[in-house]
Structure 1
């Protein structure tokens, strides 16, 4: 169980690899920072979005990214 104020998510190995590349490229020290970076850079225009919707959106956006640009 995660600490209070945190949520646990499960991602595919492929998504984890992409998040790792984001960590390296943008000097993030954890998956959490990489996810925050990716979420902050997405164009979310809604006032409210659930964590599940955010994770799904992030997963879809990362799957669309050309892997060669992350290397």
Structure 2
């Protein structure tokens, strides 16, 4: 899946997320699409999804965490 499709899917999902679940949904979406976003910077991610730059830290943390989760058996295709 190309980056623009990923960005659009994340934007749509975040727009539909309950207000008190926004950050949790963002984390889940980053984990889900980490492989497709592994070559971009946190700044590029925030610009692509339309988020404040402060969410770049969340992007970096979740992308790094994804490697450990996958090593433990997580199948991101099931998210």
Q: Normalising by structure 1, report the TM-score.
A: 0.31
The structure number with the bigger radius of gyration is: 1
TM-score, normalising length from structure 2? 0.29
Structure having the higher helix fraction is: 2
